[in-house]
Structure 1
Amino acid sequence: MKQNSLKGWFKSGAPGVWISGGAVSLAVIMTIGLLAVIAVRGLGHFWPADLVLAQYNVPGSAHHVVLGEVVQKEEVPRERLKSAGLPVPEQGPEFMTRELIKVGNRDLNGNDFSWVVGEWLTDLKTPPELLAIERREWGNFYGYLVNVKENGKVIAEGEAAWPELQARVKRVNDLAKQLSQLEKKDIGAINYGLERIRLQGRKLELEGKLTPQAQADMEAERAELNARYKAIEDRLGDLHAQFNRDSLTARDANGKELEINIGKVVKAYQPNAMNSWQKLAMYFSNIWEFLSEDPREANTEGGIFPAIFGTVMMTLIMAVIVTPFGVLAAVYLREYAKQNTLTRVIRIAVNNLAGVPAIVYGVFGLGFFVYVLGGSVDRLFFAEALPAPTFGTPGLMWASLTLALLAVPVVIVATEEGLARIPRTVREGSLALGATKSETLWKIVLPMASPAMMTGMILAVARAAGEVAPLMLVGVVKLAPSLPLDGNYPYLHLDQKIMHLGFHIYDVGFQSPNVEAARPLVYATALLLVLVIATLNLSAVWIRNHLREKYKALES
């Protein structure tokens, strides 16, 4: 009886349902777990951790003081520490604690991370007067504030130095914003204008139209720009003098003093003296800086805004390019082409293109888009700039086109499937009412297939936004000096190189000179890339669902 019931249970297909449900559940759990690990390790980096001061008593060596943030703790076998050359006693527990401490002060110590044995740390304290200084260069400094100086003269020391330092750091950050505005935007606009005049003169010369009047007009315009540059240069000199006016003296845990220009200080804080609300406010401030600032210190410090901007801009341009081409190809294959051997071969080729490795698309993009197409565009439209390439070099346009080429098979297949699901009676009814084939296609069939088109675009965005290998060849770089969108005509500069979140993860994770400092930023950037792709996909899903509800009545 039991055997029959078990056999009937298997025949009912219930085991398949349970196995499928279990597989889906396992995949969801693994995905959530992965995102949780990335989020914890990435977002935890922005919390202002307490500074620990302790005596480090290495057996057989002189004792010294350790000061810094405890980043990681782990249990390791005693034999592993002995094999690393540490003076571990023969007798003792099988496992010992190893701690990674961010000691900062790279300009004094050489390394700003240090592994220590937890059992050798004694007299642990967290004095509230300990100072953490985030610098534009050389990473963090940890120690004690001694005094604040203006033009080399001490103006505050002791307890009075802390509020004075905060006021002057705020002043310096305001000056830094003004300097950035002048150097990146105002001077950038002038340099852009001067280059435009030079290219205009070269173009007139090549065309034989460089008349004395044209030369005089260009010289007048150039003189005006040079006068503006001189005024900005004087302003810059004054700001730099103010920017470098103040300094502070700090002392490390071992008593060595160091004078730091406040112009190099991003922020100074005393984490041990902060309460939970103050730390929470600083935590969100750090996250905002990560999202809105430019990178520094070989991409291991600062923010990643250029990479966010480049990723979103490139993905949007790719979507604008790939959608019409993919839809038109699918419409031709499904609605107009004869369903013969050639059509079947084309469909097989399209399906095979979806499985081609991404790096192959990158090589094709470099060879065809950049060298052939870009070089031809330069010779036809930008001859005055040669031999310096304009479009004959990797840039935003070619990166977007390469991704579009990579994603177009996905759009074609999804759109074809959507067109195939539309009942033939809908087409015949439209034609019976007097509509032409093109009117039926554009007013009836394509609107009903629009959810499938959006599905294809979602899949294309999901694949293309996370690609890295082809982009390394056709336009993405480690650090882009400016954004491709600015106030200079034509405003969107498709020839410029960009940063990308995927390549930024690769660069920070595998090319960074400071691995320990870069590790949390890899997790944070990876989480952000997932969120960016999810945001783009959710936007497309919302549009698809809206279109599906709109045309549901037609389908029924």
Structure 2
Amino acid sequence: MKQNSLKSWFKSGAPGVWLSGGAVSIAVIMTIGLLAVIAVRGLGHFWPADLVQASYAVPGQAPVAIVGELVQAEEVTRARLKNAGLPVPAEGSEFMTRELLKVGNRDVYGSDFSWVVGEWLHEPSTPAELVTLERREWGNFYGSLVSIKEQGQVVAAGVAAMAELQKRLQRVDALYAQVSKLEKQDIGGINHGLERLRLQSRKLELNGQLTEAAQADIAAERAELEARYQVLETELSGLHQQFNRDSVVMRAANGQEVEIGLGNIVHAYQPNSMSALSKLGFYFKKLWEFLSDDPREANTEGGIFPAIFGTVMMTLIMAVIVTPFGVLAAVYLREYAKQGVLTRIIRIAVNNLAGVPAIVYGVFGLGFFVYVLGGSLDRLFFPESLPAPTFGTPGLMWASLTLALLAVPVVIVATEEGLARIPRALREGSLALGATKAETLWKVVLPMASPAIMTGMILAVARAAGEVAPLMLVGVVKLAPSLPVDGNYPYLHLDQKIMHLGFHIYDVGFQSPNVEAARPLVYATALLLVLVIAVLNLSAVAIRNHLREKYKALDN
């Protein structure tokens, strides 16, 4: 009886349902768990951690003072510590604690991080007067505030120095914003204008049209730009002098005093004296800076806004390119091509293209798009720039086209499936009412297939946005703080190189000279890449659902 019940249970298909449901549940739990680990390790980096001060006494050596943030703690065997060359006593527990401290002060100690043995740290404390300085170069500085100087003269010391430091940092931040605007916008625009005049003069020379009148006009315009440049350069020089006017004197844990210019300081705070609410406000401030600022310190500090902008811009251009080409190819194969051996071979080739390794597309993009197509465009339309390439070098356009080539099979397959699901009766009804085949296709078939088209675009965006290997060959670089969109004609610079979140993760994680400092940023950037792709996909899903509801009545 039990055997018959078991057979009937298997025949009912219930085991397959339970296995499928269990597999989906496990996959969802693993995905959520992975994202949670990435979020905790990445977002925790921006919290202002307390500074620990202690005396570190290695057996047989004089104790030294040490200050730093506790980053990681783990238990290791005595044998492992002894193999590392530490004078570990023979007696005692088999395991000891090893702690990773971020001691900062790279210009003093030579390294930001140091491994210490927890049992050798004595009298640990968290004094309220310890200060963290976040610098534009050389990483963080940890120590005690000694004094504030203005043009070499002490203006504040002791307890009053911290308030004076915060006041003067606000002034430095305002000056830094003015300097950035002058360098990136005003002077950058003038340099763009001078380069445009140089190319215009060269073009007229190549065409044999560089007359004296044309030379005079170009010279007059160049003189005007150079005069504006001299004014801005004088203003910039004055700002730099004000920028470097003040300095702060800090005392490190080893007693050494270091003078640091306020122009090199981004933030100054006393984490041990901050309340939980103050730390929360500082945390969100740091998080916003991570999303909105340019990178610095070999991409291990600062923000990643250029990488966010480059990723989104490239993905949107890719979607604009791939959708019409994929839809046209699918429409031809489904609606116009004669269904035979050749059509089946084309479909097989399209399906196989979806499985080609991404790096192959990168090599093709470099060889065809950059060298052949880009080189031809330079010779035809930009001869005045040669031998310096305009489009004959990796850039935003070629990166977007390479991703579009990689993603077009997905759009073709999804669109064909959508076209195949549209009832033949709708086509025949439209033709019977006097519409042409083109009108039927444009006004009836394609609108009803638009949800499938959006599905294909969603899959294309999901695949292309996270690709890294091909982009390393066709336009993505380690550092490109200048955005491809600005106020200079033609405003969108498709020939410009860009940054990308995926490549940024690779660069920071595997090419960084400061691995420990870069590790939290790898997690934070990976989480952000997932969120960017999710936002792009959810936007496309919302459009698809709207179109599905709009044409549901026709489908029924």
Taking structure 1 as the reference length, the TM-score comes to 0.99
Residue type of the alignment partner of 1:375: G
Secondary structure of residue in 1 paired with 2:96:
strand
Secondary structure of residue in 2 paired with 1:176:
helix
Q: Does 1:399 align with 2:369?
A: no
- Residue 156 of structure 1 corresponds to 156
CA distance in 1, matches of 2:472, 2:484: 17
Residue type of the alignment partner of 1:328: L
Superposed displacement of residue 2, structure 1: 1.6
Superposed displacement of residue 176, structure 1: 0.6
Residue type of the alignment partner of 2:402: T
CA distance in 2, matches of 1:346, 1:433: 34
- Residue 432 of structure 2 corresponds to 432
Secondary structure of residue in 1 paired with 2:485:
coil
User: For 1:232-247, what aligned pairs fall within 5 Å after superposition?
Assistant: 232-247=232-247
- Residue 52 of structure 1 corresponds to 52
- Residue 271 of structure 2 corresponds to 271
- Residue 493 of structure 2 corresponds to 493
Superposed displacement of residue 60, structure 1: 1.4
- Residue 348 of structure 1 corresponds to 348
Structure 1 stretches of 4+ with a deviation exceeding 2 A read none
Residue type of the alignment partner of 1:294: D
Residue type of the alignment partner of 1:75: E
Residues 323-362 of structure 1, C-alpha deviations (whole Å, 9 max, x = no match): 0000000000000000000000000000000000000000
- Residue 16 of structure 1 corresponds to 16
- Residue 512 of structure 2 corresponds to 512
Taking structure 2 as the reference length, the TM-score comes to 0.99
CA distance in 1, matches of 2:203, 2:57: 73
Alignment check: 8 A CA contact 2:306 2:481 kept: no
Superposed displacement of residue 379, structure 1: 0.3
CA distance in 2, matches of 1:207, 1:256: 66
CA distance in 1, matches of 2:469, 2:490: 29
CA distance in 1, matches of 2:296, 2:257: 25
Residue type of the alignment partner of 2:163: P
CA distance in 1, matches of 2:23, 2:195: 60
CA distance in 2, matches of 1:180, 1:68: 32
Superposed displacement of residue 130, structure 1: 0.2
Q: Does 1:250 align with 2:255?
A: no
- Residue 545 of structure 1 corresponds to 545
User: For 1:15-414, what aligned pairs fall within 5 Å after superposition?
Assistant: 15-414=15-414
Alignment check: 8 A CA contact 2:300 2:517 kept: yes
Superposed displacement of residue 160, structure 1: 1.0
CA distance in 2, matches of 1:170, 1:109: 29
Residue type of the alignment partner of 1:25: S
- Residue 452 of structure 2 corresponds to 452
CA distance in 2, matches of 1:402, 1:254: 54
Residues 132-153 of structure 1, C-alpha deviations (whole Å, 9 max, x = no match): 0000110000000000000000
Superposed displacement of residue 179, structure 1: 0.4
Superposed displacement of residue 384, structure 1: 0.5
Residue type of the alignment partner of 1:508: V
Residue type of the alignment partner of 2:197: I
Is the alpha carbon distance of 1:481 and 1:290 closer, same or farther for their aligned partners in structure 2, counting shifts above 3 Å? Answer: closer
Residues 311-330 of structure 1, C-alpha deviations (whole Å, 9 max, x = no match): 00000000000000000000
CA distance in 2, matches of 1:197, 1:256: 54
- Residue 441 of structure 1 corresponds to 441
Alignment check: 8 A CA contact 2:294 2:481 kept: no
Superposed displacement of residue 77, structure 1: 2.0
CA distance in 2, matches of 1:107, 1:91: 38
Superposed displacement of residue 74, structure 1: 1.2
Deviates more, 1:254-263 or 1:535-544: 254-263
Residue type of the alignment partner of 2:7: K
Residue type of the alignment partner of 2:475: G
Superposed displacement of residue 94, structure 1: 2.2
CA distance in 2, matches of 1:290, 1:483: 17
Superposed displacement of residue 86, structure 1: 1.3
Deviates more, 1:25-34 or 1:168-177: 168-177
CA distance in 2, matches of 1:434, 1:196: 55
Secondary structure of residue in 2 paired with 1:414:
helix
Residue type of the alignment partner of 1:550: K
Secondary structure of residue in 2 paired with 1:338:
coil
The two structures, once aligned, show a CA RMSD in angstroms of 0.6
Residue type of the alignment partner of 2:407: A
Secondary structure of residue in 1 paired with 2:114:
strand
User: For 1:517-532, what aligned pairs fall within 5 Å after superposition?
Assistant: 517-532=517-532
CA distance in 1, matches of 2:322, 2:75: 52
Deviates more, 1:430-439 or 1:232-241: 430-439
Residue type of the alignment partner of 2:358: A
CA distance in 2, matches of 1:95, 1:410: 55
Superposed displacement of residue 481, structure 1: 3.9
CA distance in 1, matches of 2:353, 2:137: 47
CA distance in 1, matches of 2:140, 2:470: 36
Secondary structure of residue in 1 paired with 2:115:
strand
CA distance in 2, matches of 1:420, 1:10: 34
Residues 137-195 of structure 1, C-alpha deviations (whole Å, 9 max, x = no match): 10000000000000000000001111100011111111111000001111110000000
Superposed displacement of residue 97, structure 1: 1.2
Alignment check: 8 A CA contact 2:132 2:143 kept: yes
CA distance in 2, matches of 1:223, 1:534: 50
Superposed displacement of residue 309, structure 1: 0.3
Secondary structure of residue in 2 paired with 1:33:
helix
How high is the sequence identity, in percent, across the aligned residues?
80
Residue type of the alignment partner of 2:523: Y
Residues 278-333 of structure 1, C-alpha deviations (whole Å, 9 max, x = no match): 00000000000000000000000000000000000000000000000000000000
Secondary structure of residue in 2 paired with 1:231:
helix
Residues 381-433 of structure 1, C-alpha deviations (whole Å, 9 max, x = no match): 00001000000000000000000000000000000000001111111111111
Residue type of the alignment partner of 2:496: Q
Superposed displacement of residue 78, structure 1: 2.2
Unaligned runs of 5+ in 2: none
Residue type of the alignment partner of 2:409: P
Secondary structure of residue in 2 paired with 1:137:
coil
Secondary structure of residue in 2 paired with 1:477:
coil
CA distance in 2, matches of 1:430, 1:88: 88
CA distance in 2, matches of 1:481, 1:253: 36
Secondary structure of residue in 1 paired with 2:108:
helix
